Chains A and B, each alone.
Chain A
Amino acid sequence: MWKKGSESFFRGCFFAVALLIITHANGQEALSFNRKKAPRTPLHTVTTTPAADTPAARKPLFVILKQLNQSKGIYFLFSNKAFGEQMVTPVPDKNRPIEQILDNLLQFTGLKYKKITDKAFVIVAAGPPENSPPPRPPIEENKTSNDKNVHLVKGKITGTEGRPLPNVTVLVKGTGRGTSTNMNGDFEILGSNGDLLVLSSVGFDKKEIPVNGGGAIIYIETQLNEAQSVMNEVVVTALGVNRYSRSLGYSLSKVSSEEITSSGNTNFASVLYGRSPGVLVNTAPGGATSAVEVQIRGVNSLNFNAQPLYVVDGIVIRNTNEKGITGINNGGYWVDSRIRGNGILDINPADIDNLTILKGASATALYGSEAAAGVVVITTKKGAPRKHLGVSVNYTNTIEEAAFLPKYQNEYGPGLDRATNLSEGATEDGWIRVDSNQMRPNFTAWAQFGPKFDGRMVPWWDGEMRPYEAHKNNYRQLYRTGFNSIANVAVSNQTDKASYRLSYTRNDYKGIQLGGDLQRNTLHLNSNFKISDKLNVDVVANYVDSKVHNRPFQLARIIASYSGFMSRADDMSVILNKYQTSDGYKWVPFNESQRNPAEAMRYNVQTEVFDFLWNQLRNSEDEYQDRFLNSVTLNYDLNKNLKFRVRLGNDFTSLKTETRNYSEYPVAFNGNTSTGQYKLANGRYSILYGDGLVTWSKKLNTNWHVSATGGFQSRKEQYTDQSSSTTDGFLKENWFSLQNSFHPITTTLDRSALLKYAFLGFFNVSYRNYLFLEGTLREEYSSTLPPGRNRYLYPSANAGFVFSDVLDLPSWVSFGKLRASFGIVGNAPPPYASAVTYSQTTLSTINGPVAALSAQMNAGNNDIRPENKYEQELGLETMLFKNRLGFDITAYSSRTVDQIIQLSIPSSSGAMSKLVNAGELQNTGLEAGINAIPYVNKKIKWTTRLNMSTARSKVRKLAPGVNRIVFYEAEQSAIRIVADEGETVGNVYVYPRLTDESGHYVIGENGLYIIDNTRYKKVGNVMPKVTGGWFNTINWKKFSFDCAIDYRFGGKLVSPPLKYNTGAGMYKSTLQYRDEAHGGLPYYINKSTNEKVLLPAHQSAAPDGGEVYHDGVILPGVTVNGKENTQIIDAAYYYTNTFYWGASAVNESAVVDNSYIKLREVSLGYELPAKVTNKLHFNSIRVSLIGRNLLYFWRTLKNLDPEATIGSNWIRQNVDEGSMAATRSFGFSVNMDF
């Protein structure tokens, strides 16, 4: 801050302005109310703010002073160039002394003047109000009651931070007179002494001030307090229509840019955990390149389009649509072994101004089909009014590390149960005899019931002698420390005619899995041009360019497969050394040693980890993506009542994926095929979007305000994927070219297109700004439905009633509103899913080329009807105790009729599935949020928000011929996720263990549980019961602390790998029974009968002098004959068979509770003091320490991350088939403004 009179301040930054003396001004014009120009409110703002009129026309200070210079020959200097741009009201009487003129001119500008000489003045900032209270006109005390002279009241209204408040409504109480403030917070109105001015503005507390004063002009300067409520903010609703949240008849959540960027997320969706009631987020493991799935209000569609529609600056963008029916990562490892991303990852969080989530049918009805799963409306940052060019620089850097790994046991090495060990040619313990004096571990044993680690030197598979010991971190070593760096620079400005914000973001990401990384550049421009008073154009352009190298692999083959389980005996450093040979070929298996006798493995091993490393470290799959997201919006105000808006936009992606797989062995060993691959895939995805709206709005009288809008919307999507690759390997090693294909190259083409358009209309009526009614209607046409029945209609209605404005409520109720809404949205199947068609192939046969025609694996249905969701919603919003406490509760229920589903059918009926309208789904739920400011004083402010929501999806009816829908099937049908009529969706059934009448488990002759595969037992439901989050912000002086916690209670996770790993003895929990220390029973084996006989104590000797074992287990239960089970089995036999793949194992063990409370994000920020920042020529500098996914306060899953699932449909989000570890990040961010 500079000091008054400080000469140094003037140095270097002054502008000398030659001024002319002004001529006589026309005083009358200035006094009259200028009604020529209405302030530009956002188009389609259908609020009921009373009509706003501007006070007298203002001009930039510079212009007026220039006139003074011309007329009076006085020179003016500006201490800051921007001061000249301040809009001021010309002083009518230009013959007054210059000091008076300046006083008037600068009255509410925050500026003052300094007289240097008689002919030279400097315009400087007025300094903080507390130091120099603004000059207030003397109040005349002795006003007589008959003083009814009308005065011109001039005022300035600012917010608590001194920011001028535009659009504040100023009404003279008891009269119809009113006005509103301009962009600088100034207003002028005629008033008399004793009048009360009522100041109101959305987002601020209402204030009344008396008019009191003498003279022709009465000056008023006042502040409005911000209302502690989100009720009055402007929110973006469907089709980009701005509305005041108080007027909404449905629930909607808004997330601010601070929340999105505060902890350095690479995408906006991961921020939504728990933030908005009813919104469930699922981030696939793998970091910045992995998809984030969002589910709004429970299961909306049983298999299609479970993802919300994303709308960025009014344009519907691509998310997963290019994948059609299949979605992302829904098919398991063999369909796509890498963890994929989705389209929303390209939306740069740093460019988002705010994000609104439209949940219910009424909120989304205007988007029609595909909005059935909700809509996320994103508005990007615009150029803000600033005094000069604004530049902001943000940098975030976090360290990424693998987190929440399984708790593996480190005591026993590879080996199976004794019988199997012997059967495989090992010793009872699991050692394999190499020669008379050497033993080695069984490297191919899938389980870990072998010999105890003792550190002895043993022959290893690489031919070396190595210690037999546990490498506790070998699984962790499949991961590394990654990083995430986000640098962002944005410049923005606003002038009379235009405003813009241009931002560049660079994101470098190195994920935790070995091998992959990501680089992304985002260029974003949001600009507005005011072409004329009536015509206004918004141009938004985005360019995203990214390169992804080797997306993370699903580690299913290593963590969920018998051929891949890694023993703790494995030394990663040896494996990392051996996955490729010294000359760059693939590792050489023991039975192909001729390929490289020196480096071939000596023994057979668990091969999957080698293949993984070969694929991820040697081979490469590089994705180069260029994406353009553009939109142009034309706003045309024909007159006060009639407005047009036309918008055109596109989302265009060009994707090139280049695969380079290296030769696996020298071509000398080729037979009819070779190895290696070069593949080039090109994708072109385009969405063309357009809409047009005509809005007519009118304030009928002080009570009624109506508006009606009609419009048209259309969208065309086209997806083309084309790829060419070498076939059967390379002719010449490692020459990555299609010319090098061993056999003729393979090319594929995949294309799809869809067109949707709709006619729509909506109207809004409001009464006295407390009763609001909205109705919408949309008639939609979709190319994905059979011709002739591709048209459908959605109506919706909603009402909001701010009862606190009407009822006489206790004073502690600050605000209260009731909402009610009803709406219908529909959904059509994905492109080509319903058409009945045939695929032709040309076969090169002994008869020459012959055409073959095949029907479809997934049968279509030309009789398909769109599904319709009918949803109603009731809500209550309140603010209590002067906005210290607020509640927002919403209850909804929806019915989805004619649910379109790709119904799995027995393949014996001639297809794998058929598209049908399969019945009726009912969703009910409750969403609640509590806001509070538990503590506030001058220095500390603690705000908190607690969200919770429940959602329940139930099948009300199934179509004739369908009695049950099975969504997921595992373990030879022993585990199923199903929907039964009248039941909640997502029930999990398993074949239970057989029990007798009194509920005891029946144990078979082999000492194991008998599985009852004649019936299914319900063991739970995959849908969570309650989800939500708790958010806290504490501000203390310049520090701020944010912490986001989210939780999930109830709901099962189906994870066959957990069962396999238990059976394989991987976890610490499987140490139980293995030895005396872990509760094993002592027994010996009777040599003649080969029976296991229990011994009274571990110290007892076997009667026949044989070996005493300490790993006995007797399962509690009865024998088939009803006697108590006494059969002893060894621990390894118990684990390997009870938790084995398939239906004869105990499959309850693969269905586990998944509840948790997680510390999702923490940030501790510090705002550098203004003194420091100013010295550095910055407006503000903020540094933060940030962390994400730090820890679980509590979780039911011990050996699996609760968020390990991948896939874009709801079933896959509740099924784990082995993905990879979760990522924990921590680091810092710096935000600088100048």
Chain B
Amino acid sequence: MMYNNMNKLSVYILSIVVLLSVCTSSCQKKLADLYYDPDQTVQPSIEQMFTEMLSNDRVRPSYWDIRTFVVMHTGIYTQSVGYLNNSIEYQQNAGYTQDRWDDFYRPGNIDGHGGIMAHYRLIEQLYSSIKDDKTKATEEVFLMAAKVVMLDQASQIVDMWGDIPFSEAGSVNTTGDIVSAKFDNAADVYNSILDGLKTASTYFTNLQLPTTTQVTFTKQDILLSGQIEKWQRYANSIRLRLLMRISFVDEQRAKNEVLNMLGNPSVYPLADGATAYTPATTDILLQPLTTHTDDLHLALTEIINYSAPDYLLNTVMKPSGDPRIPVLFDKYGRTVGDQFIPNTDYNALPVNETLEDQQINLGRYAIVDSATFLFNSKIPGIVISAPEVNFLKAEAYERWGGGDAKAAYELAVRQSIAFYYYLNGLNTTTRTPLTPPAAAAIDTFLQNGQMQYTGTTSEKLAKIWIQKWVHFGFLQSIQSWSEYRRTKYPALQFYPSTLPGYELPPTRLVYPASETAYNTNYASVKAKDLRTAKIFWDIKP
């Protein structure tokens, strides 16, 4: 009996042990399989991360960027959008500016939202880990193109915040260590950017890629579809922009390098459309995804930013009979009872009226054009455009000689007109595109007293800067804000707010909470972290 029991027992135990061991060995493999999310990959790729860097909803005019950043911050600071005079109008929205900052640095979990710096660091690391020299050589184009994109975007972060984490930024994805990146001096960052752009430009000069690499590059490059030469123009144009930006603080360097660039167009080709200008091919534009259907009507209407800005329409465009008015604005009208009473003329929302008056009379003011802006889902992201390049050239020629400033100025204005008619023409769904004005009409326009390139140097420069500001509009509000702060043109008036400490727009953005809270190096910049502090290139009184 006892023996039997023991026997039975050992059978039980044995079978359990067998069962467990079978389970364990299969379980071990299962454990490893389940460690990874089946919807994610563990294999990084330089090419695909490069594409991720390009697909940027801060470059494309996305609902989120326009609604939370442009019309609440830079658009107001430059009066590129109409806005109501709320008492909190000039106070920075901490969450949304944090978001803008984050989109540069960290990967987003939604496409188009970020990680320029993080992905650039990953690309750098992957590139340096390539052992094979040949592969390394072919992959270099991705690294260089990625670098141009990163530097371009980094310059905008400097323009808004000043000193930023740069040289040590983005390390968590590569080293895995939690190191708070130090804040690099803004001027130093600019130097690195300028040097980097020059290196990239040199690299792209006459670059021939092996066919297979070229095919991959053409596919993954959703910005310029693999046109090497255009990458070079892109790098040079941004470099020109940034050199002009520092031209008041370091005029000698700016002058030397700019004149060198402008004097050697074959070495330093620019996206200037000097011979022929077609926005779609000349400009560096990030086309929307082909599946993109959204437009900006909610972004501009939700907090009432669709009204025509005062200075832009009333002071600059209307008096000169600007031919861009029909593609920039609609006259609009108001509803009284069941009646829609259309406005007879283009009138902008007065910037100095009280909130109440602005609200009551909203219908009496023109609004941004519904075909060009409100219901246009095809607006590309403007990286840099020929009109801007030519305005920059005009300024350089005007200040330092070396070329025909007037010609550059007039070319820029003509290109800008073409550009906005191009944008208008992209919308084929809500309205028939307007016909661009005839060359003669534009000539007349350029002879208009307000437009005519005459007067003292400072008057001419003012015209260049004001027209550049017109060209930027709200689609390039960060550039617009930077140039406004650098040049102090146009001379905008702001309705003072009653909120203590926030009476007028800031001259820079204050750092987001992620840095003030978690970056141990924040202490080094804390004293400068004021909304009234100035970026290093902002020295003009």
Contacts and interface: CB of A to CB of B under 8 A. Distances in A.
Interface of A: 416-417, 419-420, 422-426, 432, 442, 562, 590-594, 597-598, 600, 603-604, 638-639, 642, 644, 671-673, 692, 694, 712, 714, 727-728, 743-744, 749-755, 757, 759, 781-787, 790, 831-832, 835-841, 843-848, 850-857, 859, 861, 863, 903-912, 914, 916, 961-963, 966, 969, 972-973, 976, 1006, 1008, 1014, 1137, 1140, 1142, 1144
B287 interface: yes
Contacts of A852: 48-49, 51-52, 55, 111
Interface residues of B, number: 120
Given A903-B178, A909-B178, A844 B291 contact: yes
Given A426-B356, A831-B34, A832-B37, A843 B172 contact: no
7 contacts: A425-B354, A425-B356, A837-B40, A844-B291, A905-B180, A908-B181, A909-B172
Interface of B: 5, 8-9, 12-13, 16, 20, 23-24, 27-28, 30-45, 48-49, 51-52, 55, 85-88, 91, 94, 98, 101-102, 105-109, 111, 115, 117-119, 121-122, 164-165, 169-174, 176-181, 218-222, 225, 287, 289-291, 293-295, 297-298, 301, 304, 335, 337-338, 340, 353-357, 359, 362-363, 370, 374-375, 377, 429-430, 495-501, 510, 512-520, 526
B179 A424 contact: no
A432 B362 CA distance: 17
Nearest to B358: A425
Nearest to A595: B335
B122 A855 contact: yes
A600 B111 CA distance: 38
Nearest to A422: B354
A707 to B, nearest CB: 16
Contact of B16 (A694, A839, A904): A694
A790 B31 contact: yes
B35 A783 contact: yes
Contacts of B98: 907
Given A671-B375, A838-B41, A908-B514, 7 more contacts: A419-B498, A424-B355, A424-B356, A694-B12, A850-B222, A906-B517, A914-B178
Contacts of A694: 12-13, 16
A856 B496 CA distance: 43
Nearest to B338: A597
A972 B221 contact: no
B32 A1006 contact: no
A910 B101 contact: no
A945 B528 CA distance: 59
A847 B102 contact: no
Contacts of B176: 859, 861, 863
A838 B40 contact: yes
A839 B40 contact: yes
A673 B171 contact: no
B513 A911 contact: no
Contact of B178 (A442, A786, A916): A916
5 smallest beta-carbon distances between A and B, as pairs: A425-B354, A425-B356, A853-B48, A837-B40, A908-B165
Contacts of B108: 854, 857
Nearest to B336: A597
Contacts of A911: 106-107, 118, 172-173
Given A751-B39, A904-B517, A843 B111 contact: yes
B37 A416 contact: no
Contacts of A1142: 91, 94
B290 A835 contact: no
A728 B289 contact: no
Contacts of B220: 847, 850
Contacts of B516: 972-973
Contacts of A638: 5, 8-9, 12
Given A752-B37, A855-B115, A914-B178, A909 B170 contact: yes
B58 to A, nearest CB: 14
B299 to A, nearest CB: 12
A671 B225 contact: no
A853 B514 contact: no
Contacts of A1014: 526
B94 A972 contact: yes
A1142 B375 CA distance: 35
A1139 to B, nearest CB: 13
A713 B115 CA distance: 43
Nearest to A728: B293
A853 B111 CA distance: 9
A962 B178 CA distance: 8
Given A907-B105, A912-B106, A424 B87 contact: yes
Contacts of B510: 972
A1216 B266 CA distance: 63
A591 B304 contact: yes
A973 B88 CA distance: 19
Contacts of B31: 755, 781-783, 787, 790
A671 to B, nearest CB: 4
Nearest to B356: A425
Nearest to A861: B176
A743 B105 contact: no
B121 to A, nearest CB: 6
A243 B385 CA distance: 79
A759 B377 CA distance: 59
A759 B178 CA distance: 36
A847 B44 CA distance: 21
Given A590-B359, A907-B105, A916-B178, A835 B36 contact: yes
Contacts of B353: 425
A423 B87 contact: yes
B122 A843 contact: no
A969 B513 contact: yes
Contact of B109 (A416, A839, A907): A839
Contact of A907 (B27, B44, B370, B514): B514
Contacts of B102: 907, 912
Given A594-B335, A904-B514, A1142-B94, A853 B42 contact: no
Nearest to B120: A910
B35 A910 contact: no
A985 to B, nearest CB: 17
A850 B117 CA distance: 21
Nearest to A598: B338
Contacts of B45: 838, 853
B497 to A, nearest CB: 7
B168 to A, nearest CB: 8
A432 B38 CA distance: 60
Contacts of B88: 562
A787 B35 contact: yes
A790 B34 CA distance: 12
A969 B357 CA distance: 38
Given A672-B295, A787-B35, A790-B35, A973 B429 contact: no
Nearest to B337: A597
B30 A783 contact: yes
A845 B60 CA distance: 13
Contacts of B42: 835-838
Contacts of A909: 105, 165, 169-172, 178-181
B520 A963 contact: yes
B118 A966 contact: no
B36 to A, nearest CB: 5
Contacts of B359: 590-591, 603-604
Contacts of A850: 51, 219-220, 222
A499 B222 CA distance: 70
Given A672-B375, A907-B101, A781 B27 contact: yes
Contact of B35 (A785, A838, A966): A785
A726 to B, nearest CB: 13
A838 B501 CA distance: 44
B104 to A, nearest CB: 9
A758 to B, nearest CB: 11
Contacts of B430: 671-672
Residue of B35, B48, B218, B517 most packed against chain A (CB within 10 A): B35
